[in-house]
Amino acid sequence: MLQINPEFYTVWNYRRNIYLNAVFPNSTPEQINDILEKDLVMTTIALKAHPKVYWIWNHRRWCLEQTPDGPGGEGGDPRGWRIKNWKQELSLVEKMLDIDARNCE
């Protein structure tokens, strides 16, 4: 449904509620991270077609906020998954800003 109409915010809300109330309570941090990374990939694809849809960006922010602590990162930082996902997000935002001619001087 979100591929047809990514502005259907009710579906985004249901998706988050299902994750929070049905999926995440029965999942390990690794599984939660995998689910959220897949959602970030899905929304990256959606942004290529609909870069100005607020609900896609909102869901990405939510995914980043829900990312559990995990291994990796520099110096064995326990926030490795969070740091990795936020770095990728900043890179994506920079690319999106570069693509939009209205952001150029």
Tokens representing 18?
Answer: 């299902």
The reply to whether 1 falls in a domain is: no
pLDDT band at 101 (very low <50, low <70, confident <90, very high): low
Instruction: Show the domain range for 71.
Output: 30-100
| H/E element, 73 | none
Mean pLDDT of 3-27: 96
For residue 103, what pLDDT is reported?
58
CA 64 to chain centre: 6
What's the pLDDT tens digit per position in 30-70? 999 999 999 999 999 999 999 999 999 999 999 999 999 98
Assess contact for 62 and 20: CB atoms under 8 A: no
Residue 2 has phi, psi (to 5 degrees) of -70, -25
Number of domains in the chain: 1
* Residue 51 maps to a domain: yes
